[in-house]
Chain A
């Protein structure tokens, strides 16, 4: 079982305290939403979970099957979808996926690739030989979600995953998140969207 434990965590940047003395537990097998106003530290919370940021005070531990994971192992087991995470603009959709998934030791056959794109609502023929630079923000978001789905990650960290998606895309995100949680994965959403918050099993509120 995946688990992320915050113990008395405080985080500040250049003297500005984002949040202080938080102790939270996020567990696998359910969807957890991190909610709060803009600037409350939802994205920071996710980065701390991914060990991409060290807390100013306290500790964040991530474990799988009772064994604490080092940052190197954790990063190979998590997938992150955030507005700040960008695709390579001068690579095609296929090249971007081959690169990121290749780093996880995953090779996509053509049939898998086409099925994956269909799963996130993208048409392969529309993306063929087209650099990611010319994709719309919604298409980029769907491609990032495709990368997440194919990565077989145990930890899903999603920062406003429905942003820039149409109603069908936003529904697809929640459907995939539910399937992942049912499969025992840890799904953590940072969101301001009431539908995403309502879809969560647990809610962590950051004032």
Chain B
């Protein structure tokens, strides 16, 4: 009766997917928030050509705020359903962290696809290096998912959970955002930024993931 970590992560991930597919409020809220922001921005700048750097900053800002609209649900949904205790008793901390992290990453990627297409269409942007943009979205979303899952776990039991997330997330996300904006502006036609930024993002994502896996068990069991 022994199960592997991979097996446990898969179970937590599948449980998250099933629950999310049966209650689409989180997905819908994130998507609607992002589309509304995008529509406002595109109407506001109608006709005015924006620089690739500004477009890149707008793109990541829209993604970030869409993410913020749903990230607190990672653990809040468990808390409000009263299932945290059952999860603590039955699931190893690492399985919870990585199962939820993978689910959040997938959620962000699924959101990023229509958002990116809508952004390119509404803002009339041409992508000169689609592969770079693809890699950026993969790495950027992983960074957001890792930081977001950790911050959501930090908020467990905090009475000011709603205001805690944006305060803690911003400094954690800056090392993801700044290189992402530099490289995205290159992908949008500005002078190409060094791809070492991509490597740096990957490295930061790895550090964030390892840091989360070290910290999470202490948060999970409320030491």
B218 to chain A, nearest CB (A): 11
Given contacts A90-B18, A90-B22, contact A103 B85 (CB under 8 A): no
Do residues A99 and B15 form an inter-chain contact, with CB atoms below 8 A?
Answer: yes
Do residues B18 and A82 form an inter-chain contact, with CB atoms below 8 A?
Answer: no
Do residues A87 and B83 form an inter-chain contact, with CB atoms below 8 A?
Answer: yes
Chain B interface helix/strand/loop/mixed: helix
Q: When each residue 10-30 of chain B gets 1 if its CB lies under 8 Å from chain A and 0 otherwise, what string results?
A: 010001001100110000000
Do residues A100 and B86 form an inter-chain contact, with CB atoms below 8 A?
Answer: yes
Do residues B221 and A103 form an inter-chain contact, with CB atoms below 8 A?
Answer: no
Q: For residue B86, which residues in chain A have a CB less than 8 angstroms away from its CB?
A: 85-87, 100
Partner of B18 from the list A52, A95, A105, A152 (CB cut-off 8 Å) is A95
Q: For residue B91, which residues in chain A have a CB less than 8 angstroms away from its CB?
A: 103
B100 to chain A, nearest CB (A): 14
Do residues A86 and B11 form an inter-chain contact, with CB atoms below 8 A?
Answer: no
Question: Which partner residue on chain B sits nearest A47 by CB separation?
Answer: B85
Do residues B90 and A52 form an inter-chain contact, with CB atoms below 8 A?
Answer: no
Q: For residue B2, which residues in chain A have a CB less than 8 angstroms away from its CB?
A: 105
Number of residue pairs A-B, CB distance < 8 angstroms: 73
Chain A interface helix/strand/loop/mixed: loop
Q: For residue B163, which residues in chain A have a CB less than 8 angstroms away from its CB?
A: none
Do residues B223 and A103 form an inter-chain contact, with CB atoms below 8 A?
Answer: no
Given contacts A102-B3, A105-B3, contact A86 B15 (CB under 8 A): no
Among B81, B89, B92, which residue has the most Cβ atoms of chain A within 10 A?
B89
Do residues B90 and A100 form an inter-chain contact, with CB atoms below 8 A?
Answer: yes
Question: Which partner residue on chain B sits nearest A101 by CB separation?
Answer: B90
Query: Which one of A72-80, A114-122, A199-207 is at the B interface?
Result: A72-80
Q: For residue A138, which residues in chain B have a CB less than 8 angstroms away from its CB?
A: none
- Within B1-52, which residues are at the interface with A (CB < 8 Å)? 1-3, 7-8, 11, 15, 18-19, 22-23
Q: For residue A104, which residues in chain B have a CB less than 8 angstroms away from its CB?
A: 1, 3, 90
Question: Which partner residue on chain B sits nearest A102 by CB separation?
Answer: B11
Expressed in whole angstroms, the Cα–Cα distance for A79 and B86 within the complex equals: 9
Q: When each residue 86-102 of chain B gets 1 if its CB lies under 8 Å from chain A and 0 otherwise, what string results?
A: 10111110010000000
Do residues B83 and A52 form an inter-chain contact, with CB atoms below 8 A?
Answer: no
Expressed in whole angstroms, the Cα–Cα distance for A52 and B83 within the complex equals: 14
B142 to chain A, nearest CB (A): 25
Do residues B11 and A103 form an inter-chain contact, with CB atoms below 8 A?
Answer: yes
Q: When each residue 185-223 of chain B gets 1 if its CB lies under 8 Å from chain A and 0 otherwise, what string results?
A: 000000000000000000000000000000000000111
Do residues A54 and B85 form an inter-chain contact, with CB atoms below 8 A?
Answer: no
B31 to chain A, nearest CB (A): 20
Question: Which partner residue on chain B sits nearest A88 by CB separation?
Answer: B83
Q: List 9 A-B contacts (CB under 8 A).
A: A52-B85, A52-B221, A75-B90, A88-B83, A90-B19, A95-B15, A100-B90, A104-B90, A105-B2
Further 11 A-B residue pairs, CB within 8 A, beyond A52-B88, A99-B15: A72-B92, A80-B89, A85-B85, A85-B86, A87-B86, A88-B81, A102-B7, A103-B3, A103-B11, A104-B1, A131-B22
